[in-house]
Amino acid sequence: DAKTTQPPSMDCAEGRAANLPCNHSTISGNEYVYWYRQIHSQGPQYIIHGLKNNETNEMASLIITEDRKSSTLILPHATLRDTAVYYCIVRVATGGGNKLTFGTGTQLKVEL
Amino acid sequence: EPEVTQTPSHQVTQMGQEVILRCVPISNHLYFYWYRQILGQKVEFLVSFYNNEISEKSEIFDDQFSVERPDGSNFTLKIRSTKLEDSAMYFCASRFRGDYNEQFFGPGTRLTVL
């Protein structure tokens, strides 16, 4: 699975959009970008995933650059409850047990 | 909304004792996982399980660890002889099927080995 690079921490004002970047310059054509988050030692929570098109769901939007070497997770209106560690994970869609390999992620702190 | 549940929420044990951590995955899910997170460290994959057998395991998952799906609902992780370094949060996860589906994680069991 491709390696990812994320900033260790970010701050965001409540109500503003939180834009979390992820670099994955060695991504292969069959690898997807997944985003999970972990709120204060709770179990990780799936947010969104994509291959090359931008994706949106009720939680967030995922913007993947055309060359697929980086992506941005957007929380459109961050709230205090979005304070968490956000993990960008790149992995193939098929094969093995589909384990997730977590890095250190980005600690997002949403403040008033 | 269906969710993964885990029991107990906190387990304290003496070094050398056996522990069994229990998980109830989401009912129609077919793939099951255990991960662990030592305090302040990354979430680490331990094992994946499908069709009543282990499909992948990490180097951490040595002979002291075993998994079982004893009935149609429970998924257990057994540590035969606990060590101090086994102290961690243990997360169970499950996935429906297909390779793209997300994994749903439980709230975790905090294991403390004294």
Distance (Å, whole) CA A107 – CA A7: 8
pLDDT band, very low/low/confident/very high, at A97 (cuts 50, 70, 90): low
- B13 pLDDT exceeds 80? yes
Model pLDDT, residue B96: 87
Distance (Å, whole) CA A9 – CA A28: 27
Q: List, as one string, the DSSP characters of A53-101.
A: S-EE-SS-EEEE-TTSSEEEEEETT--GGG-EEEEEEEEESSSTT----
Summarised one tens digit per residue, pLDDT across range B57-107 is 999 999 999 999 988 789 999 999 999 999 999 999 999 876 666 899 999
- Angle at CA A91, nearest 5°, toward A94 and A48? 100
Summarised one tens digit per residue, pLDDT across range A35-46 is 999 998 899 999
What are the CA-CA distances from residue A112 to residues A74, A75, A80, A106 (Å)? 18, 16, 8, 19
Model pLDDT, residue B1: 81
* A100: CB partners within 8 A, 6+ apart: A34, A36, A44, A89, A91, B35, B43, B45, B103
- A93 pLDDT exceeds 90? no
Are the C-beta atoms of residues B108 and B4 closer than 8 Å to each other?
Answer: no
- A96 pLDDT exceeds 70? no
Q: Which of B39, B99, B101 to mutate to test the interface with A (most CBs of A within 10 A)?
A: B99
Is A32's Cβ below 8 Å from some Cβ in B?
yes
- A49 pLDDT exceeds 90? yes
Is B50's Cβ below 8 Å from some Cβ in A?
yes
Whole-number percent of chain A with pLDDT over 90 = 82
Is B44's Cβ below 8 Å from some Cβ in A?
yes
Q: Which of B102, B104, B109, B112 to mutate to test the interface with A (most CBs of A within 10 A)?
A: B102
Residue A55: how many CB atoms within 10 A of its CB?
Answer: 17
- Mean pLDDT, chain B, rounded, equals 94
pLDDT band, very low/low/confident/very high, at A91 (cuts 50, 70, 90): confident
State the average pLDDT over residues A10-29.
96
